[in-house]
């Protein structure tokens, strides 16, 4: 009796705790507004009027290149054009996409989820992951507690005939939801480890040296910290602890062939083309993102070679060691 009472207390505590965390995470996922680009990515009034007057795409791209010259943008379209949203009239930051359902540009957009009637992106991706995890645990807890009655149902040991249907229905619903959510949660855990969004899985972001599906991956440990933050005590709580501002993301280094780099450094036309490059040479400083602290090393070059090498290489070295 004492043990049975203790079991009931533990059961009620676990049940209510899992339910509270499930509802809390679900509510935060629903009611957290998608993060949108800051005003610095909007065109000025003069640039906007000039952009709308221009009819040639080349002239429009030149306007966008001038406007994006000082912005931390390092990805382009597949045709090497500046990513611009005509609907929101702004230059898209890296990993930002326009959601047709929400009709806004969402920072680090993953997908629009009909189950939460909201976009899953930078502002609520952690909440979405916790929602999946706690719903998974909740379904597992329900299925495990009903399992003994489900076994009695099949062995005809359940005395109450009216409860048979309820036991059968509850077990199958919990088991089916558990299997469905498990596959989705496992997929998003894999995405977090690779530092990719669902959109980037199907369409790799394009950097200066071409598409790179692993361009934002810093290693599993740092990828995890980018979503959940530095303080592990807050990882399981649905409070916002993600690193960064959603507009700037550190990237790994992809080195070109040394011979190509040497040829490009001696090529004067190449210098002039790189001089017109609209991308800055360094995306983030250590003070702007804690993921770069301690193990960030810059490639320092001479004043004449810096622009050439920055156009031939990716813009940052980040240690991939966890």
Question: What does the pLDDT look like over 115-152, one tens digit per residue?
Answer: 899 999 999 999 999 999 999 999 998 888 888 877 87
Q: Give the end of a domain, one of 71, 101, 118.
A: 118
In a domain, 228, yes or no: yes
Query: What confidence tens digit (pLDDT) does each residue in 173-226 have?
Result: 999 999 999 999 999 999 999 999 999 999 999 998 889 999 999 999 999 999
Q: Tell me: pLDDT of 228 over 90.
A: yes
In a domain, 266, yes or no: no
The band of 15, judged by pLDDT with boundaries at 50, 70 and 90, is confident
Query: What confidence tens digit (pLDDT) does each residue in 18-75 have?
Result: 889 999 999 999 999 999 999 999 999 999 999 999 889 999 999 999 999 889 999 9
Give the C-alpha separation, 81 to 64, whole Å: 9
Q: What percent of the chain has pLDDT over 70?
A: 75
DSSP 100-169: TTTTEEETT--EEETTTTEEESTTTHHHHHHHHHHHHHHHHHHHHHHHHHHHHHHTT----TTHHHHHHH
Q: What is the mean pLDDT of the chain?
A: 79
DSSP 51-79: HHH--SHHHHHHHHHHHTTTS----B-TT
Same domain, 22 and 47: no
Same domain, 29 and 168: yes
47 vs 10, more confident: 47
Same domain, 28 and 173: yes
Give the C-alpha separation, 310 to 299, whole Å: 9
Q: What percent of the chain has pLDDT over 90?
A: 56
In a domain, 308, yes or no: no
Which sequence positions are flagged as catalytic? 113
Same domain, 28 and 48: no
Residue count (the chain): 322
Give the C-alpha separation, 295 to 301, whole Å: 19
Tokens of 117: 């009637």
Same domain, 219 and 132: yes
Give the C-alpha separation, 95 to 201, whole Å: 12
Give the C-alpha separation, 239 to 252, whole Å: 28
The whole-model pTM stands at 0.76
Query: What confidence tens digit (pLDDT) does each residue in 91-107 have?
Result: 999 999 999 999 999 99
Helices 220-228, 163-194: inter-axial angle, 10-degree rounding: 120
Domains identified in the chain, total number: 2
Residue 21: domain span? 5-34+122-234
Q: Tell me: pLDDT of 264 over 50.
A: no
79-93: average pLDDT: 93
């Amino acid at each position: 009796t004492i043990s049975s009472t203790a079991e009931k207390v533990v059961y009620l505590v676990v049940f209510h705790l899992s339910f509270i965390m499930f509802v809390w995470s679900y509510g935060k996922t629903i009611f957290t507004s998608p993060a949108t680009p800051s005003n610095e990515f909007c065109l000025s009034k003069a640039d906007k009027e000039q952009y709308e007057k221009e009819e040639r795409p080349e002239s429009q791209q030149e306007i966008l290149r001038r406007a994006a010259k000082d912005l931390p943008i390092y990805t382009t379209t597949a045709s090497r054009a500046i990513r611009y949203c005509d609907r929101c009239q702004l230059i898209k930051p890296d990993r930002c996409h326009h959601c047709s359902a929400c009709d806004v540009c969402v920072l680090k957009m993953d997908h629009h989820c009909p189950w939460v009637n909201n976009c899953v992106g930078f502002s609520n991706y952690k909440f979405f992951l916790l929602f999946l995890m706690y719903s998974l645990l909740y379904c597992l807890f329900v299925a495990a507690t009903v399992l003994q009655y489900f076994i009695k149902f099949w062995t005809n040991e359940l005395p109450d005939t009216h409860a048979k249907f309820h036991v059968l229905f509850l077990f199958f619903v919990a088991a089916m939801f558990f299997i469905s959510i498990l596959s989705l949660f496992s997929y998003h855990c894999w995405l977090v480890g690779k530092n990719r969004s669902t959109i980037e899985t199907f369409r790799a972001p394009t950097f200066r040296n071409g598409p790179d599906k692993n361009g934002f991956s810093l290693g599993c440990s740092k990828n995890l910290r980018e979503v959940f933050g530095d303080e592990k005590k807050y990882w399981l709580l649905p409070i916002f602890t993600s690193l960064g501002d959603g507009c700037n993301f550190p990237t790994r280094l992809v080195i070109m062939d040394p011979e190509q780099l040497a040829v490009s450094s001696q090529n004067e036309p190449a210098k002039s083309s790189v001089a017109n490059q609209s991308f800055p040479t360094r995306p983030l400083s250590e003070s702007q993102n804690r993921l770069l602290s301690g193990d960030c090393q810059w490639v320092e070059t001479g004043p004449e070679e810096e622009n050439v090498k920055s156009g031939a290489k990716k813009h940052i070295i980040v240690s991939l060691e966890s």
